[in-house]
Amino acid sequence: MKVLFLLQSTTGNTAVITEAASRILKLSGIETQIVNIVKHALPESYEEFDALFICSSVMYFRPLIQMEKVLANMPAIEGKPVFALATCAGGPGGFFDIIDDILRNKGTELTGSFYTLAPSNWPLHLHIATKIPGQSIGDFLSLKFPSFRPLLGFPWPGSCTPSIKDADKLEEWVSAAGTFLKSSTSDGVPKVKTSLLMSALGKMTTHSQIEKGMDLFIDHVKCTKCGLCVKNCPAKIIAQNDLKEVPHFKSGCHGCYTCYNICPAAAIGQKYARGPGSQYHGPSPEMKSVFLS
């Protein structure tokens, strides 16, 4: 049995969760392959795979735009189990419902779904949060009242850092998926129940609205012309003719903030957010240890 993980991770959180899920399936004797849709070539055919895991972060209450486009252009996969795995700093919004809608056009639907909390990588959120003291209070409250972590994560983003309990829940869900794949007598795999309001928020936020809402710019003084933003833009809309030139944005931004967060000089900004304090530099050693140790 062979399982394909389709992955898009903007700052590394979802990549950590995907690697953890892959390891769990491998330990149960299931072969896995992870394909990063931004960095790797997509499979020419999905016939060699027995099941599919869709792994993406939640952005604007829905899947990342690049992932949605890949799924929309995917050939029909009737009869194959499909699972969705997400990371988010709050709730998943319409993430799973939108994926389900796409899959129904491909002759299937979600077999199971799961999400885990992860720190926010939204610059405006981080910019505002740097002005709010008391992260230690958020840490204390998140330990005492873990179900309130999505709310605590608004003033204190660190409150959404995953714990060993989150890793245990992921292992339980992935193990259930593995059992389902190997046994037709399985009771099934849990699915996330999304409220109608949160689902509607995701579906109402369109790709064109996201693009129009982006107002990123590059500070010509701070920019070192390293080209990292050009190489890592999932939408391929940052151009740089040569390394002597400051890159510039073209139309078609997906709003993932990959360029913003990876810029070593903090040269990419927005009207209301700029500077190192509003950047998210990827999963912490503690998060990696929780899921991958």
The string over 56-85, giving b where at least 16 C-beta atoms fall within 10 Å of a residue's C-beta and e elsewhere, is bbbbbbbbbbbbbbbbeebeebeebbbbbb
Amino acid at 245: E
The confidence score (pLDDT) of residue 186 equals 60
The string over 222-235, giving b where at least 16 C-beta atoms fall within 10 Å of a residue's C-beta and e elsewhere, is ebebbebbbebbbb
Domain limits of the chain? 2-118+162-205, 213-272
**Domain 213-272 is found in CATH 3.30.70.20:** yes
Q: What are phi and psi of 52, to 5 degrees?
A: -130, 135
- 109 contacts 82 by C-beta, under 8 angstroms: yes
The confidence score (pLDDT) of residue 180 equals 93
The confidence score (pLDDT) of residue 144 equals 87
pLDDT, block means (10 residues), the chain with 293 residues: 96 96 97 96 91 96 95 90 94 94 93 94 86 86 85 86 93 96 78 88 87 85 95 94 91 92 93 82 91 92
State the residue for tokens 């056009």: 105
What angle, 0 to 180 degrees and rounded to 10, lies between the N-to-C axes of helices 196-204 and 95-104? 70
Q: How far apart are CA 160 and CA 282, in angstroms?
A: 13
CA of 180: how far to CAs of 61, 166, 173, 184, 276, in Å? 28, 21, 11, 6, 45
Q: How far apart are CA 66 and CA 71, in angstroms?
A: 9
Count the neighbouring beta carbons within 10 Å of the beta carbon of residue 53.
Answer: 25
The confidence score (pLDDT) of residue 184 equals 62
- 224 contacts 240 by C-beta, under 8 angstroms: no
Token code pair at residue 288:
């990696």
Q: How far apart are CA 45 and CA 2, in angstroms?
A: 13
Q: Alpha helix (H) ranges present in 95-163?
A: 95-104, 123-129, 135-144, 149-152
The confidence score (pLDDT) of residue 55 equals 98
Can you give the pTM of this predicted structure? 0.92
Q: How far apart are CA 5 and CA 22, in angstroms?
A: 8
- 235 contacts 65 by C-beta, under 8 angstroms: yes
Q: Alpha helix (H) ranges present in 73-216?
A: 95-104, 123-129, 135-144, 149-152, 164-182, 196-204, 207-213
The confidence score (pLDDT) of residue 185 equals 60
Largest alpha-carbon pair distance within the chain? Answer: 63
CATH number of 2-118+162-205: 3.40.50.360
